[in-house]
Structure 1
Amino acid sequence: MKSVLVDLTQLPLERTGVGIYAVNYVKRLQAQAGGMRLHFLVLDDDAELLREVAAIPNASAIVLKAKLFRRFLFRVLLEQVIIPALALVKGIGAVHSLHYSFPLLSFGRFKRIVTVCDMSFFLFPELHVPAKRVFFQYFIRRLPKVEGLLFISESTMNDFMRDFPLCAAERCVIPLGTELARLQAPADPRVVAELRKRFDIGRYILYVGTIEPRKNILGLVKAFEQVAPTHPDIKLVIAGKLGWDYDSLLQYIEASPLRDRIVLTGYVNETEKHALLKSADLFTYVSFYEGFGLPVLEGMAAGVPSITSNISSMPEVAGNGALQVNPNNTDEIAAAMRSLLDHPEARASLVERGHAQSRAFTWENTTAISLDFYARLLGQREAGTQPGQLRG
């Protein structure tokens, strides 16, 4: 039986987006991998992934030194030389890369599977730093040559196919999930109290995500400035690490007359994020573009009235469980905030719908579809009859 090598070396230690996807995928493999033989490339500074991989039956970890392979040139060497060599020596049937880049040469000896998280490098190239834009556009242009593509939403797959309509790779949508039981459970009151004290917050509107132009945080701040005068007890909490091109945003916040009511927490871990979500009055995620929009799903699952954008993948994720607004219209964002802050019955109804919507997205489903895709691509299972999952 052919095995699959999953490359986990692309993941930063501070988990966002693809990192959260990868960790939850690995966790679910512990119960769902069955007889599938799996190998994982893991860096030696990633204790969490090393621990989770060790608990997967029929799996082995190939551990590499982070001091070397977190450096760009060594990272390229690993992906383009070492991984193909490993695949050939170990007789691996497929290599799964989780974040755009992948081994360019397979010598026809192993299948290449790539997870495509979004198409922002093509749709919004101006919102990325030049080096990343050039690097990832190079690999995305070559994705039609791989054997299998996993997309985290129908929206992302449609965006890709508009740019690459002749792509013949097998394609599959793997909607992401969320940890429903954990997010719906009460937060640790000690963590809540510590965060309230650390950031001096009572009632607040919350954003969670990387601070970068695509997330439209400036639009969120401007909408908050409209709402704040009639809601003097509300603050805006922006939770996330600094990404790129954030100087103009920070300058705007510093000059804002509401500077004392806008809180920048920096990166928060999963426990802190859970506590912030459970204590928020509103959750807002009015991004200009998303490949999925995982924070929207987490907000709904946590029982927070949520506002998100009405474009790209976000309607696919939110359904009727969140208010949808035009992210380019600050007045519309502000009106949505007011409607929920001022009407408790609307908030309660939205929370109920959000809970129902979030239950449709589970990591178990993400994992099951991914494993089925592996098996189909390796010829170990006949294509099923479920519509819309496997495309070629």
Structure 2
Amino acid sequence: MRRILLDLTQLPLERTGVGIYAVNYVHCLQSLAEHGEMHFLVLDDDKELLASARAVPGASVIALNARLFRRFAFRVLLEQVLIPMIAISRRMDAVHSLHYSFPLLSFGRFRRIVTVCDMSFFLFPELHVPVKRVFFQFFIRRLARADGLLFISESTQRDFEARFPRPGPRKAVIHLGADLRRLAQAPDPAVLDALRRKFDLDDYVLYVGTVEPRKNLIGLIQAFEQVAERHPGLKLVIAGKLGWDYDDVLDAAKRSPVRDRIVMTGYLSETEKHALIKAARLFVYVSFYEGFGLPVLEGMAAGVATITSNLSSMPEVAGDAAPTVDPREPAQIAAAMERLLSDDGERQDVASRGLAQSRRFTWENLTHRSLGFYRQVIAARR
């Protein structure tokens, strides 16, 4: 039986992209009869992941001290020394790291599989904190040492191979997914009502994601300013935690001529996020670059007309089901918003096509294909 060690120690408690990926992957493993022998490394402050991992039939869960291993130096020690020791002592066939960095040495005793979430650390280095940029560039340059690479979009694989064209490890593209069942459900009325009262919301356009330069929120604010006069009751809701270098975004919101109609909620729970998405008139996500663009998929899966960027992976996710615009042109964003705000029939058509498109991306598919990739990589060592 295959023994897989899944490293879940790199995940922040406030769930965004890779954290949502990890939670849903582990949850899907709970319902599979044949998943090999799964071993999970989890930090002990991550109660949600601990409970989910322990619910996987036959799984072994190693809970590590979060106060220690959330410190950078100890994280490096964990990854480069302790994980190889655990993998060798437990006779693991493979170690899967979900977020770029991975054990550089395996002593030939286990396979190393790494998920590559995006290439923004090379394509847009100026959009990252210097320490993170140096750290992740170091590991991405060494991915040729891994035995298997999983890319979350074809776009990300193309970006990687353009930068590192030499033949390397076995590769596969496995798209992320959406919880289609949950997103199809009506929002919790109490949660939605509380959010409406807290932020004085009725009719609104929504963005969900981290507040940081890569997300093009200044361009979104400028686009909203262009449509706001024709839709006097409409608000722009920016829902997500503050990332880094967000002062220009906050300043743009404060200086906007429609600043009283721009709402910044801060980080929201999954339940709160679901409620806001379901009640939005439009979902707009016009980032400069994404490895996948999970919020685009979530907007479509919720049955909300979605507008996104024509760059990187976002057209791959949207297909022909969502208008795509040049995120560097606020006038294009505004024109797409105006078209859907003013035409109820077209907005409903876009919403219906988005819902159909979203069904192509499920966490169950990701789980089955990931397990299949493990088998391929492990078999290749023999």
TM-score by length of 2: 0.98
Identity across the alignment (%): 65
C-alpha distance in structure 1 between counterparts of 2:95 and 2:335, whole Å = 47
- The offset of 1:2, in angstroms, is 3.6
2:66 maps to 66
- The offset of 1:59, in angstroms, is 1.0
Name the amino acid aligned to 1:206: L
| Residues 1:56 and 2:56 are matched in the alignment | yes
| Residues 1:323 and 2:323 are matched in the alignment | yes
| Residues 1:140 and 2:143 are matched in the alignment | no
C-alpha distance in structure 1 between counterparts of 2:321 and 2:271, whole Å = 24
- The offset of 1:380, in angstroms, is 8.8
Matching of residues 154-173 of structure 1 within 5 Å: 154-173=154-173
- SS of 1:284's partner is strand
| Residues 1:359 and 2:362 are matched in the alignment | no
- Of 135-144 and 31-40, the range deviating more from structure 2: 31-40
| Residues 1:244 and 2:218 are matched in the alignment | no
C-alpha distance in structure 2 between counterparts of 1:359 and 1:252, whole Å = 36
Contact persistence 1:36–1:58 (CA under 8 A)? no
C-alpha distance in structure 1 between counterparts of 2:381 and 2:228, whole Å = 57
C-alpha distance in structure 2 between counterparts of 1:67 and 1:381, whole Å = 37
| Residues 1:131 and 2:131 are matched in the alignment | yes
- The offset of 1:117, in angstroms, is 0.4
Contact persistence 1:284–1:308 (CA under 8 A)? yes
| Residues 1:6 and 2:6 are matched in the alignment | yes
The structure-2 alpha-carbon separation of the partners of 1:366 and 1:381, relative to structure 1 and needing over 3 Å to count, comes to farther
- The offset of 1:381, in angstroms, is 12
- SS of 1:339's partner is helix
C-alpha distance in structure 2 between counterparts of 1:87 and 1:264, whole Å = 44
Matching of residues 110-125 of structure 1 within 5 Å: 110-125=110-125
Contact persistence 1:375–1:381 (CA under 8 A)? no
Structure 1: which 4+ aligned runs deviate by more than 2 Å? none
Aligned residues: 382
Structure 2 regions of 5+ residues with no counterpart?
none
Matching of residues 217-228 of structure 1 within 5 Å: 217-228=217-228
C-alpha distance in structure 1 between counterparts of 2:167 and 2:127, whole Å = 26
- The offset of 1:88, in angstroms, is 1.1
Structure 1 regions of 5+ residues with no counterpart?
383-392
Name the amino acid aligned to 2:143: L
The structure-2 alpha-carbon separation of the partners of 1:33 and 1:325, relative to structure 1 and needing over 3 Å to count, comes to farther
- SS of 1:235's partner is strand
Q: CA RMSD in A?
A: 1.2
- The offset of 1:33, in angstroms, is 5.6
TM-score by length of 1: 0.96
1:375 maps to 375
C-alpha distance in structure 1 between counterparts of 2:144 and 2:231, whole Å = 51
Contact persistence 1:307–1:322 (CA under 8 A)? yes
Contact persistence 1:116–1:152 (CA under 8 A)? yes
Listed one character per residue, the Cα deviations across residues 311-354 of structure 1 (whole Å, up to 9, x for unaligned) are 11001100112111111111000000000000001001101100
2:278 maps to 278
Contact persistence 1:5–1:92 (CA under 8 A)? yes
C-alpha distance in structure 2 between counterparts of 1:87 and 1:185, whole Å = 41
Name the amino acid aligned to 1:213: P
Contact persistence 2:293–2:314 (CA under 8 A)? yes
The structure-2 alpha-carbon separation of the partners of 1:144 and 1:159, relative to structure 1 and needing over 3 Å to count, comes to same
1:216 maps to 216
- The offset of 1:254, in angstroms, is 1.0
1:386 maps to none
